[in-house]
Amino acid sequence: MRHIEALIADGASIFIGALDDLECVAAASDVHNSLAMLVRRDGGALAALLKRLDKAVDRFYADGDVIDEANSQSD
């Protein structure tokens, strides 16, 4: 999970836990931006969620794409 490691080394953070009515969310943010907010899939392993978060962080830095599953599910 090299992208998450690099993110944290740069002073950014990740969050894993419940968020509002969502049982498990993994989020990554730097001091300026929310990079990704992913929802754990039903029956999904925590390791799988972290791998998805690592890919989402890479995608943000490569393309500027923010993946926000947490807010799209509450609509």
Please write down the HEC assignment for all residues of the chain.
CHHHHHHHHCCCEEEEEEECCEEEEEEEECCCCEEEEEECCCCCCHHHHHHHHHHHHHHHHHHCCCEEHHHHHCC
User: Quick check: 39 and 70 in contact, CB under 8 A?
Assistant: yes
**Structural domain spans, the chain:** 2-73
pTM score: 0.90
One pLDDT digit (tens) per residue for the chain, 75 residues: 999 999 999 999 999 999 999 999 999 999 888 999 999 999 899 999 999 999 999 999 999 999 999 998 654
Q: CA 33, CA 20: separation in Å to the nearest integer? A: 20
